[in-house]
Amino acid sequence: MSEVPVVSLEGVSKSFNGVEVLRDIHLEVARGEVVSVLGASGSGKSTMLRCINWLEQPDRGTVKINGEHIGVDAQGKQMSVRALASLRARTGMVFQSFNLWPHLTVLQNVIEAPVHVKRIPRSRAVEEALALLDKVGMGHKRDAYPYTLSGGQKQRVAIARALAMAPEVLLFDEPTSALDPELVGEVLAVMRALSLDGYTMVVVTHEMEFARAVSDQVVFLDKGKLIERAPPERFFTAPESERVQRFLATHR
């Protein structure tokens, strides 16, 4: 474990209007690792994920991407908008509600950030985007606008969009929660393939089967505290905390 973790949260705390949603979170994600984040609604899972790319600003604690401070530097000074943006570009995020840009086609959605943030040549961006769209099985829809797609298709495009920035870590915020049950499988299949490709992933999810089959580590949040971290086998068969046992009993 001498390698620098891709994501590290140290002592991260956050309150909304006086309500503590994250309390002293410590989390490290190693390169190539898939970490599933479980917990009841309102346990702070999404907020924790959003702290990783600073879409939510923690009140205390430090967040590092590949050893580099994000949001505030080592001295606690707020970093510039530009510096923050370029760090964020090294993470890829997939949202529950897809959040595709409706004015752009599927292909344009995928090349938008590579061309206008990373400033790579358009022709190269298109080439890479088409390969990614094929990878998520959406190559045939390259010229479609998002409103014509199903939820599962939108989410697969959103995954391709996140991949297009060649991120060091992929952050999934309940990627299947807004999908019709029969569409969940196609998205999970793509995510499973990514894990096999060696992507580093943090996945906030309610999909127990996925967490069990795909992740290297499962962490559990309860009322803003990270109370359990274990490999999936142990997490699902012999959890230490009584809270996790109760959670698993109701989610089987």
Partner 1 sequence: MENWQIVWEARDSLISGLFTTIEIFLIGSVLAFLLGCLVVYLLEQAGPWLRRALRVAIDLMRTLPFLIFAYLLYYGLPSLGVRLDAWTAGLIALVIYHGAYFAEMLRGARLVMPAGGVEAARACGFHGFTLFRRILLPQLLIRVRPLIGNQLIYCLKDTAFLTIITVNELTAAANSIQAIYFIPMEAFVAVIGLYWMVSIVIELLVKWAGRFGRKRGFDHV
Q: Which residues bind partner 1 (CB under 8 A)?
A: 53, 55, 81-82, 84-86, 88-93, 95, 97-103, 112-113, 116-118, 145-148, 158, 161-162, 165, 171
Do 118 and 89 contact (CB within 8 A), yes or no? yes
Q: Least separation, in Å, of the C-beta of 208 and partner 1?
A: 26
Q: Least separation, in Å, of the C-beta of 204 and partner 1?
A: 14
User: Does residue 161 come out as left (phi exceeding 0), alpha (psi in the -120 to 50 range) or beta?
Assistant: alpha
Cβ distance to partner 1 smaller for residue 172 or 210: 172
Cβ distance to partner 1 smaller for residue 90 or 212: 90
Q: Least separation, in Å, of the C-beta of 102 and partner 1?
A: 6
Cβ distance to partner 1 smaller for residue 114 or 239: 114
Q: Least separation, in Å, of the C-beta of 175 and partner 1?
A: 13
Rounded CA gap, 17 and 41, in Å?
Answer: 18
Rounded CA gap, 14 and 61, in Å?
Answer: 9
Q: Least separation, in Å, of the C-beta of 116 and partner 1?
A: 5
Cβ distance to partner 1 smaller for residue 75 or 147: 147
Q: Least separation, in Å, of the C-beta of 187 and partner 1?
A: 16
Cβ distance to partner 1 smaller for residue 68 or 233: 68
Cβ distance to partner 1 smaller for residue 176 or 228: 176
